[in-house]
Structure 1
């Protein structure tokens, strides 16, 4: 995770603690939605991803955060079924960490690019297929 945090802070100027918090919540949501086989591949390529996901899940705060965006993401997931609202959940989780709206897309693009470099296009496509609305945030 340290390598990814450094990449995000260097590119986006986001504070390291905010980047860590955002990545933890992102990894918790990924772990929740993609299944153990795919997440194990991600965790193998990103040392510390599993710990970060567990810490975010154990924090007592829902990974998607609270507030209006959190409620909307929950409603979207319920209305659209399963992980269809996952993109909104991710946006809500990152916003709850203090990541500005204009940096959501670049944050996620940086993570996706990093994962493609470590895991290849096929694994990342599997990941993106679990979050259909995520592609709108990558935009």
Structure 2
């Protein structure tokens, strides 16, 4: 995971703490929304993933959720349901962690590419199935 954090800080111009925070949050949400078998494959391919997620969870207070924006995203997520809601919540959570919205697309592109390179296309496809809006962000960047 250190490799990804370095890439994020270099290319996005964000500090290491923000890079770790947004990556830990994104991967934690992925973990919550994919099956255990897929997450196991992902974690075994990305050394340090589980500790990054754990440190992100340890650093959050019980009410951390992005304030009013986070609450609205949570409500919209419930109304939209399923994978569409997951993607909306992810974008809001990353913004709450300090990722500038204009860098969201590049962050997603880098994260997806990293997962593909290290865990393989099959695992990536299972992640994208739960977050289809991320695929849309990728398609816009082409």
TM-score normalized by the length of structure 2: 0.87
Label 1:97 to 1:32 Cα distance change in 2 as closer, same or farther (>3 A): same
Label 1:39 to 1:63 Cα distance change in 2 as closer, same or farther (>3 A): farther
Greater shift, 58-67 or 43-52, is seen at 58-67
Aligned to 1:5: 5
Following TM superposition, by how much is the alpha carbon of 1:47 offset from its aligned partner in structure 2, in angstroms?
1.1
Tell me the alpha carbon deviations over residues 21-46 of structure 1, each in whole angstroms, 9 at most, x when there is no partner: 11111111111111211111111111
Q: Does 1:72 align with 2:72?
A: yes
Distance in 1, matches of 2:5 and 2:82, equals 29
Count of matched residue positions in the alignment of Structure 1 and Structure 2: 139
* Structure 1: gaps spanning 5 or more residues: none
Aligned to 1:111: 111
Tell me the alpha carbon deviations over residues 57-99 of structure 1, each in whole angstroms, 9 at most, x when there is no partner: 2334479832233123211221122333111111111111111
Following TM superposition, by how much is the alpha carbon of 1:15 offset from its aligned partner in structure 2, in angstroms?
0.9
Distance in 2, matches of 1:52 and 1:76, equals 28
Aligned to 1:128: 128
* Structure 2: gaps spanning 5 or more residues: none
Tell me which stretches of 4 or more aligned residues in structure 1 moved more than 4 Å. none
Counterpart contact for 2:84–2:133, Cα < 8 Å: yes
Label 1:31 to 1:64 Cα distance change in 2 as closer, same or farther (>3 A): farther
Label 1:2 to 1:90 Cα distance change in 2 as closer, same or farther (>3 A): same
Following TM superposition, by how much is the alpha carbon of 1:128 offset from its aligned partner in structure 2, in angstroms?
0.4
Aligned to 2:33: 33
Greater shift, 10-19 or 65-74, is seen at 65-74
Counterpart contact for 1:27–1:53, Cα < 8 Å: yes
TM-score normalized by the length of structure 1: 0.88
Cα RMSD, aligned residues only: 2.0
